Amino acid sequence: MRKASSWLALVGVLATTTAAADTPGKLRGLVSVSNKDWPEDDAIWVREDSPISWYHNFHWNVTATYAALPQDRLEFVPTLWGGGVNDTEFLANVTEMIRPAGGGDGRAITHIMAFNMPDQPYEYGGSQMTPADAARAWVRNLLPLREDFGIKIGLPLVGDPRGGWVDPFLRNCSGLNKGKDCEFDFVPLHAFGHFGVLKDQIGKFASAFPGKPLWVVEYGYPDQNLTTTQQYFNESLAYLEGHEAVARYSWFGAFRSTVSNVGANMAMLDPWGNLTDIGSWYLGGEATGTPAMPSDMPRTDLCTVDNPCGSSKNAAATVAGLQDLSLWGGIVAFGLLFVLV
Ligand SMILES: *[C@@H]1O[C@H](CO)[C@@H](O)[C@H](O)[C@H]1NC(C)=O
Ligand SMILES: *[C@@H]1O[C@H](CO)[C@@H](O)[C@H](O)[C@H]1NC(C)=O
Ligand SMILES: *[C@@H]1O[C@H](CO)[C@@H](O)[C@H](O)[C@H]1NC(C)=O
Ligand SMILES: *[C@@H]1O[C@H](CO)[C@@H](O)[C@H](O)[C@H]1NC(C)=O
Ligand SMILES: *[C@@H]1O[C@H](CO)[C@@H](O)[C@H](O)[C@H]1NC(C)=O
Ligand SMILES: *[C@@H]1O[C@H](CO)[C@@H](O)[C@H](O)[C@H]1NC(C)=O
Ligand SMILES: *[C@@H]1O[C@H](CO)[C@@H](O)[C@H](O)[C@H]1NC(C)=O
């Protein structure tokens, strides 16, 4: 991990020498899934000319490599993945980050997301919460952050806005909030599948929550050949940039192809950490011509019984416990959705 500290130092320098990067029309983001085997990869996404202006990582705390970057350089959006029904740990942790008890500068958090697919079971990567439990957790852990610090809160990230979870949640929440509406400021969503799935998801959420900014916090077209993946990438990026309801998006992708659970071609890095075409385009650069997975490197060479694909070295390996499920199972859930629509 010697390398990690030198990259940290570099990021520290960047933090003090660069102003906020120019962002495209919409806020382009990063799904930060650090891999403990290649901590140096984290710095790629925040290089000086990067258009990426925000990130999330399924966790309440920052990604270590970005700890020194101020919010106006790279906005960290904490997530309460699930739980919090009978405790206020998330509230305490985020409050401590914003306003350290020991004094000193806090982090100016402005947005928070809560609950990763509470309407889906654990086996599909959901946080499997009843509307009533989620409402309790929301009132305990999120409302105070909105009321005390003016932090904008995302609606729980549901798989299906018409699936019958959101309305009881809002009713239960209002019941616990002295009858007042539990307000939310933006609506996060996932979209995995062909371009029609992305359009359909955005259409459904836009009509369910008119006027609310939509955040497409994980999206992509898994397990396709390079041409199809690149066509999808181009088409989806143009669509997201042009859709008036979409405020932010983040491609699922910031990992090496060898550890991808969505097929090699969605990965923004090749097996050695070089940017692929998609990786470079996402950072506003030119095509690199670097294949995500060289044809003479069969995936089976890298995935063995001792190091199976999708386990010890997978993209989500450093995202512990349930959070693993959110990446791996989330794709499964959306694979199903893709089949259904
Ligand atoms: C949050 O992350 C930072 C950076 O990795 C770390 O220094 C800090 O100890 C973490 N806070 C807690 C409470 O775990
Ligand atoms: C929360 O506490 C209540 C009352 O003690 C208990 O019935 C419930 O099972 C708890 N819920 C969770 C998710 O821990
Ligand atoms: C709060 O931070 C502590 C210390 O890092 C950690 O153990 C705990 O899991 C965190 N709780 C939540 C809900 O984020
Ligand atoms: C939550 O809402 C459901 C459906 O509206 C209702 O049946 C239930 O009684 C509510 N629970 C609580 C704790 O308010
Ligand atoms: C890539 O996949 C698409 C859609 O499945 C298919 O039509 C096309 O022929 C494939 N291209 C190559 C080069 O395999
Ligand atoms: C995608 O867009 C890039 C320019 O950003 C272009 O070079 C490339 O040919 C496009 N690929 C496809 C398959 O449309
Ligand atoms: C990819 O990275 C490796 C290791 O850093 C380097 O040796 C190689 O030249 C790079 N390949 C390309 C196509 O950039």
Name the closest-CA residue to atom 10, ligand 5: 225
* Both tokens assigned to 270: 């090749």
Ligand nearest to the CA of 263: 5
154: left (phi over 0), alpha (psi -120 to 50) or beta: beta
Name the closest-CA residue to atom 14, ligand 5: 225
Domain boundaries, the chain: 4-340
Ligand 4, CB cutoff 6 Å, lining residues? 131-132, 168, 171-172, 175
CA of 224 to the centre of ligand 6 (A): 16
DSSP string, 7-65: HHHHHHHHHHH--PPP--SSEEEEE----TT-GGGGGGGGSTT----EEE-SSSSPPGG
How does pLDDT run along the chain (341 residues), one tens digit per residue?
333 333 333 343 333 333 333 444 579 999 999 999 999 999 999 999 999 999 999 999 999 999 999 999 999 999 999 999 999 999 999 999 999 999 989 999 999 999 999 999 998 889 999 999 999 999 999 999 999 999 999 999 998 898 899 999 999 999 999 999 999 999 999 999 999 999 999 999 999 999 999 999 999 999 999 999 999 999 999 999 999 999 999 999 999 999 999 999 999 999 999 999 999 999 999 999 999 998 766 554 444 334 444 433 333 332 222 333 334 434 433 433 333 22
Q: For every residue of 175-205, which 3-state class applies, written as one string?
A: HHCCCCCCCCCEEEEEEECCHHHHHHHHHHH
CA of 208 to the centre of ligand 1 (A): 37
Report whether residue 67 contacts ligand 1, using a CB cutoff of 6 Å: yes
**What's domain 4-340's architecture?**
Alpha-Beta Barrel (3.20)
CA of 233 to the centre of ligand 6 (A): 9
* Both tokens assigned to 204: 């459904």
Instruction: Looking at the CA of residue 167, tell me the nearest atom of ligand 4.
Output: 5
Say what the pTM is. Answer: 0.86
Is the distance from CB of 190 to CB of 217 less than 8 angstroms? yes
What pLDDT was estimated at residue 185?
97
CA of 268 to the centre of ligand 6 (A): 15
Ligand 6, CB cutoff 6 Å, lining residues? 227, 230-231, 234, 281, 287
3-state secondary structure at position 125 = coil
What pLDDT was estimated at residue 298?
56
Is the distance from CB of 330 to CB of 117 less than 8 angstroms? yes
Report whether residue 93 contacts ligand 3, using a CB cutoff of 6 Å: yes
Ligand 5, CB cutoff 6 Å, lining residues? 225, 227-228
3-state secondary structure at position 267 = coil
Name the closest-CA residue to atom 6, ligand 1: 64
Instruction: Looking at the CA of residue 136, tell me the nearest atom of ligand 4.
Output: 13
